[in-house]
């Protein structure tokens, strides 16, 4: 397939609003794609370049991309930034730029037309380049791509590289399209996706050997999405005298540990490779188990016997240099609460009780304590013990439940003191004043709608201390897409957890809602952009609060 055909499909999909139309359209394309193009198309259409399980990323910021595109057109980066400011969309800006330059320079596109596979191979090459010359090498590859790209190709190449394709194609749509295209049962596609964690590969199997879909299994060093929890109460979980398994809810960082006798990798919740940042954790885990295993757990930081705030763990994870020098500073403790794989056998379909027995046999320390009870008093006492020991609350799990990767269902319930927070994407900011003049002083936050568009919902300036201000400056300085006066637009990709007192309707933000008294809680670098708060969830929270207060607050002007 030519990349220009892919770009045309993206444009068509972008114009659709109905889910069924979208599934029909994608299902119509898939059978015509060959073995090589099919997985690439399936990933690209979701805005992904590499499989979901792969820790690989392209590592390209907007400025590098604009520099390379400007070079191709013989212009300056600022010419593109001006168009980004005008359109508010990096993809459209590059498209306009190429359109303009193309008419002025007949030889801007002298090469052959790009194919989908060539684009993918170039991306792979870029992701592989490391070392001192990597930025220059990446820039050269981007120039190569854009010198052979049409303006429309440019729109979608840009969005793909900046990880903001956002044409509204969600995971569920692609799953249903694969099922439809190859006549496979949707639950089978769903299950294969949970296990393989790459819809591209699922599509390839569905086309070449649908029987193989039933036999797919989880594998070492191909991480699966972690199972998630819903908020709930002890009472709900034990209705009908149901027994539950309860564990402390640790406030650190989720990990998935894969080990064989000659290799060990610690993955984060986002499935990045954290092994180099947590050598002490890997050592501790290796000391308590043997054989081939996949374990699920939470790593916490401990000082004087008490858990430290989760930021301590995050700070260590983010540390890129001199990890060894910081290993002894604060003790990192892994607490394992699940086992997904042992010696060639997948355990995810077994009930929790059986997995727990295998876990206790296989791991001789570092296992998170668990109680089983249907007694409210006992579970309440366990909850208070967790809080007294400095943990976040408790997790209640259904003993008969399988491990469903990526699932957030009723099998796992989290009970913790109620604090209203939501995770939002940072899309802009404002330079600070006075003492904060060299830092970004406030941040513009967005939720996502059903089409994955980012809609502003709040600004936050409170809750950020001087140390965090410096960290945030370092984090955002290379993400600036454009500036106008004190206002800055950021390349989306960083997520904040924000506390608030109330949600109100507001004409001031495109989402139609605003947060009252927003307060920065933390950076959520363990979450992906598709996990940020959705507009429908905000509307749900708003209605719920109205019901609780016995009224629907009238629209108020945002303060």
* Separate counts of helices (H) and strands (E) for the chain: 21, 20
* 300: CB partners within 8 A, 6+ apart: 250, 251, 252, 307, 308, 310, 313, 332, 333, 335
The site for ligand ATP, by CB under 6 A, has a size of 11
Task: Report the C-alpha gap between 339 and 349 in whole angstroms.
Answer: 11
Closest to ligand ATP by CB, 16 or 368: 368
Q: Which is nearer to ligand ATP, 156 or 520 (CB)?
A: 520
Q: Is the CB of residue 189 less than 8 Å from the CB of residue 399?
A: no
Asked if 245 and 370 count as a contact pair (C-beta separation under 8 A), the reply is: yes
Tell me, what DSSP letter sits at residue 108?
G
CB of 449 to ligand ATP, least distance (A): 19
Here's the x/- map for ligand ATP, 108-137, by CB under 6 A: it reads as ------------------------------
Q: Point out the catalytic residue in the list 92, 138, 225, 249.
A: 249
The residues near 364 (Cβ < 8 Å, ≥ 6 apart) are 288, 289
DSSP string, 134-180: HHHHHHHHHHHHHHT--HHHHHHHHHHHTT---SS--HHHHHHHHHH
Interatomic CA distance for residues 462 and 468, integer angstroms: 11
Q: How far is the CB of 319 from ligand ATP (least distance, A)?
A: 20
Shortest CB 297 distance to ligand ATP, Å: 8
Q: Given the complex with ligand ATP, which of 199 and 498 has the nearer CB atom?
A: 498
Q: To the nearest whole angstrom, how small is the minimum distance from the Cβ of residue 298 to ligand ATP?
A: 4
Say whether 249 is catalytic: yes
Nearer to ligand ATP, 228 or 469 (CB): 228
Compute the distance between CA of residue 165 and CA of residue 530 in angstroms, rounded to an integer. Answer: 12
Q: Binding pattern to ligand ATP, positions 220-249, x when CB under 6 A?
A: --------xx-----------------x-x
Tokens describing residue 230: 């819903």
What does the per-residue mask of binding to ligand ATP show for 377-416, with x meaning CB under 6 A?
Answer: ------------------x------------------x--
Q: What CA–CA distance (Å, rounded) separates 216 from 224?
A: 13
254, 319, 326, 436: which one binds ligand ATP (CB under 6 A): 254
Q: Which helix (H) or strand (E) holds 97?
A: helix 90-104
Give DSSP secondary structure letters for 397-443. Answer: E-TT----TT-EEEEEEEE-----EEEEEEEEEEE--GGGTTSEEEE
Q: Is 337 a binder of ligand ATP (CB under 6 A)?
A: yes
Task: Using CB under 6 A, pick the residue from 67, 190, 198, 298 that binds ligand ATP.
Answer: 298
250 is a contact residue toward ligand ATP (CB under 6 A): yes
Residue 70 sits in the site that holds ligand ATP (CB under 6 A): no
Least distance between ligand ATP and beta carbon 245 (Å): 10
Q: Which is nearer to ligand ATP, 22 or 227 (CB)?
A: 227
Minimum CB distance to ligand ATP, residue 240 (Å): 23
Contact 246, 382 (CB under 8 A): yes
Residue with Cβ nearer ligand ATP (75 or 254): 254
- Minimum CB distance to ligand ATP, residue 391 (Å): 8
Is 46 among the residues that bind ligand ATP (CB under 6 A)?
Answer: no
| Nearest by Cα to 160 from 121, 99, 119 | 119
Which residue among 368, 400, 461, 469 contacts ligand ATP (CB under 6 A)?
368
Interface residue list for ligand ATP (CB under 6 A): 228-229, 247, 249-250, 254, 298, 337, 368, 395, 414
Question: Residues with catalytic annotation?
Answer: 249
């Amino acid at each position: 397939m030519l990349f220009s055909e892919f770009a045309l499909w993206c444009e068509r999909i972008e114009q659709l609003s109905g889910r069924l139309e979208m599934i029909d359209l994608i299902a119509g394309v898939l059978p015509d794609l060959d073995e090589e193009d099919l997985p690439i198309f399936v990933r690209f259409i979701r805005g992904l370049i590499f499989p979901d399980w792969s820790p690989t990323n392209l590592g390209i910021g907007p400025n590098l991309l604009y520099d390379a595109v400007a070079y191709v057109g013989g212009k300056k980066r600022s010419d593109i930034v001006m168009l980004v400011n005008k359109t508010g969309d990096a993809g459209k800006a590059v498209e306009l730029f190429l359109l303009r330059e193309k008419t002025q320079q007949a030889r801007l596109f002298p090469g052959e037309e790009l194919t989908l596979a060539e684009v993918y191979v170039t991306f792979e090459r870029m992701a592989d380049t490391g070392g001192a010359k990597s930025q220059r090498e990446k820039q050269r590859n981007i120039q190569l791509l854009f010198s052979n790209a049409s303006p429309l190709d440019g729109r979608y190449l840009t969005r793909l590289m900046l990880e903001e394709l956002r044409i509204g194609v969600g995971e569920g749509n692609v799953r249903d399209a694969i099922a439809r295209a190859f006549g496979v049962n949707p639950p089978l596609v769903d299950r294969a996706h949970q296990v393989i964690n790459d819809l591209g590969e699922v599509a390839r199997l569905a086309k070449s050997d649908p029987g193989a879909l039933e036999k797919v299994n989880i594998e070492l060093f191909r991480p699966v999405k972690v199972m998630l929890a819903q908020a709930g109460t002890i009472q709900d979980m034990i209705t009908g005298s149901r027994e539950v398994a309860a564990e402390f809810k640790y406030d650190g960082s989720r990990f998935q540990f894969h080990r064989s006798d000659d290799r060990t990798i610690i993955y984060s919740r986002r499935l990045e490779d954290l092994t180099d940042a947590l050598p002490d954790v890997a050592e501790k885990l290796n000391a308590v188990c043997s054989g081939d295993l996949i374990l699920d757990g939470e790593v916490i930081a401990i000082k004087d016997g008490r858990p430290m705030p989760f930021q301590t763990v995050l700070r260590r994870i983010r540390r890129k240099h001199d990890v060894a020098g910081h290993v002894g500073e604060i003790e990192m403790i892994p607490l394992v609460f699940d086992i997904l794989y042992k010696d060639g056998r997948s355990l995810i379909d077994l009930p929790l009780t059986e997995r727990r027995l295998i876990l206790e046999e296989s791991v001789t320390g570092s296992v998170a304590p668990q109680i089983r009870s249907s007694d409210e008093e006992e579970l309440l006492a366990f909850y208070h013990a967790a809080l007294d020991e400095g943990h976040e609350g408790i997790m209640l799990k259904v003993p008969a439940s399988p491990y469903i990767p990526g699932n957030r269902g009723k099998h796992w319930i989290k009970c913790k003191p109620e604090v209203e927070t939501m995770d939002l994407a940072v899309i802009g900011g404002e330079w600070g004043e006075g003492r904060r003049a060299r830092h970004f002083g406030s941040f513009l936050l967005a939720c996502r709608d059903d089409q994955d568009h980012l809609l502003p919902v709040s600004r936050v300036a409170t809750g950020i201390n001087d140390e965090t201000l410096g960290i945030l400056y370092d984090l955002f300085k290379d993400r600036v897409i454009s500036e106008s006066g004190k206002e800055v637009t950021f390349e989306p990709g960083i997520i904040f957890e924000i506390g608030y007192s109330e949600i109100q309707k507001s004409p001031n933000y495109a989402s139609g809602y605003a947060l009252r008294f927003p307060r920065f809680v933390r950076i959520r670098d363990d979450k992906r952009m598709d996990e940020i708060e959705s507009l429908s969830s905000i509307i749900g929270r708003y209605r719920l609060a109205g019901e609780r207060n016995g009224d629907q607050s009238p629209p108020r002007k945002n303060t």
